[in-house]
Amino acid sequence: MSKRFLSIGECMVELSQAGAGLLRKGFAGDTLNTAWYARACLSPEWSVDYFTALGDDAMSDEMLAFFNQAQIGTGFIRRIKGKAPGLYMISLKDGERSFSYWRDSSAARLLAADPDRLREAIEACDVIYFSGITLAILSRDHVDTLLAEIRRAKAVGKLVAFDPNIRPRLWSGYDEMHATISEGARASSIVLPSFDDEAAHFGDVSIEATIERYRALGATSVVVKNGADGVTLSFGGTVSFVAAEKVEQVVDTTSAGDSFNGAFLASYLRTNDATQAARAAAKVAARVVSEHGALVAREKLGLEAL
Ligand code: ADP
């Protein structure tokens, strides 16, 4: 039977340095990255859809064509007249990367403005994935609309996965960020936080504290990522640890967590075994940090060895 995975959020135009003052254009965004890796790792009986809003400009057309080429479904994506996608630029100075963003009026900020479209998409899919960034870009009313639909999905037994992906500068204040991310976690079945973010922004003193906090909110399962120090899983009340893979040379850690999430969910959906899924995801994420860019081609992920 065919099944459907839905990722909800914002994909942006990415401009990176191509040398001699030239810029290279790409497309990326946390939830799109996870959709990309879920697509790479799920079997063909699964389809993967992206839910966002785009504009009616040429850049939105190109982004849509890019999703289609990546075999990421675009059928639920709304086009909004007069809008355009958000954009970010990566600058390099003495080997250090920094990011500038132009996303305040992006089309994706209105992704939950059409509740019927949102409900149609969520009802049509079996697994729903979203992040703290998805919530951060929405107005309070639209957060309510999105979370109401996500709660409905969880209530009927769909798998709802959430990465808090804490980005303080996307939020107007700490209290709003803390409260809304907690609501997102409460609406989910699997929460996939990164420990360094949770410690820095929510004051968790240990990985156990992160697990406890999300479990207390109502997340059934928690997967705490901790970079090269592996992941700690809490599934069905059992806590286990899976080490990261050894990486010869870390080239670019962009989308390490996003790729881990996509690969983890794909493997978990196939095996129903969280530890096995974390091992497979650690292998995929290790390949991703060994290559440049957020979206590493399927052929380079070593999937045949999983
Ligand atoms: P995020 O990008 O969300 O901060 P992490 O840094 O925790 O996420 O990385 C996610 C996963 O990527 C880790 O659980 C691990 O499997 C893999 N990973 C990240 N950095 C390394 C590294 N230096 N060596 C090996 N694996 C890594």
Count of the separate structural domains present in the chain: 1
Domain CATH code at residue 201:
3.40.1190.20
pLDDT on residue 5: 98
pLDDT at 304: 84
Mean pLDDT in consecutive groups of 10 residues from the start of the chain, 306 residues: 94 93 95 98 97 98 98 98 96 84 96 97 98 98 98 97 97 97 98 98 98 95 98 95 96 94 98 97 97 93 86
- What residues does ligand 1 touch, defined as CB less than 6 Å away? 194, 225-228, 231, 244-245, 247, 250, 253, 256-257, 260, 282, 285-286, 289
Minimum CA distance residue for ligand 1 atom 20 = 227
Q: Which atom of ligand 1 is nearest to the CA of 282?
A: 16
Mutate to test the pocket of ligand 1, among 131, 162, 225 (most ligand atoms within 8 A of CB): 225
- Catalytic positions are 258
Q: Are 128 and 8 within 8 A, CB to CB? A: yes
**Burial zone of 277 (CB within 10 Å; 0-12 exposed, 13-18 middle, 19+ buried):** buried
Q: Which of 100, 103, 108 is nearest to 77 (CA)?
A: 108
pLDDT at position 172: 95
Domain extent for 196: 4-305
The pLDDT score that the predictor gives to residue 110 is 98
pLDDT at position 94: 79
166, two tokens: 């804490």
Residue type, 68: N
Please report, for the chain, how many H helices and E strands are present, in that order: 10, 15
Q: What is the pLDDT of residue 176?
A: 98
CA distance 291 to 179: 36
Residue nearest ligand 1's atom 22 by CA? 228
